[in-house]
Amino acid sequence: MNKLLLIAIFLVVVFLIIRFQSAKNEEFLANSDKVSGVIIKKEERQVRPDQPQRKEYIVSYSYRVGDNEYIGVDNFEFAELWSEIKEGQTVEINYLKSDPAKSRLSILLKYSDKSK
């Protein structure tokens, strides 16, 4: 019985996290504009020395809004999506209208929107 309760609690927590992240992405999209940017760098980092299979996938990009140039960084949850990105590639960026320094790669926002 305790195992079932723990599993149920775990599933509720996972569901709430997914809903919260989805709501954050929707709010970001509603308050953002799009601009073209360029991938500057891709990195694959080991998360923990004792778990070499656990990695994080990071992309740095630049974009211009008005006369200002910005640098953004995004983490990719899945290596498959990260591997499709190439350095020097032009990409679509969503940035907050109220604070252009805050941005996300559009592909990540679209991907998370599809995973609902």
Instruction: Provide DSSP, 1-17.
Output: -HHHHHHHHHHHHHHHH
CB atoms within 10 A of CB 37: 24
Q: Mind listing the pLDDT tens digit for each residue in 99-115?
A: 999 999 998 887 654 44
CA separation for the pair 107, 92 (Å, rounded): 7
Residue 49 has pLDDT above 90, yes or no: no
Please identify which residue in the block is written with the tokens 């775990």.
10
CA separation for the pair 74, 84 (Å, rounded): 14
2-114 has which CATH code?
2.40.50
Going from N- to C-terminal start, the domains of the chain cover: 2-114
Look up the pTM and report it: 0.73
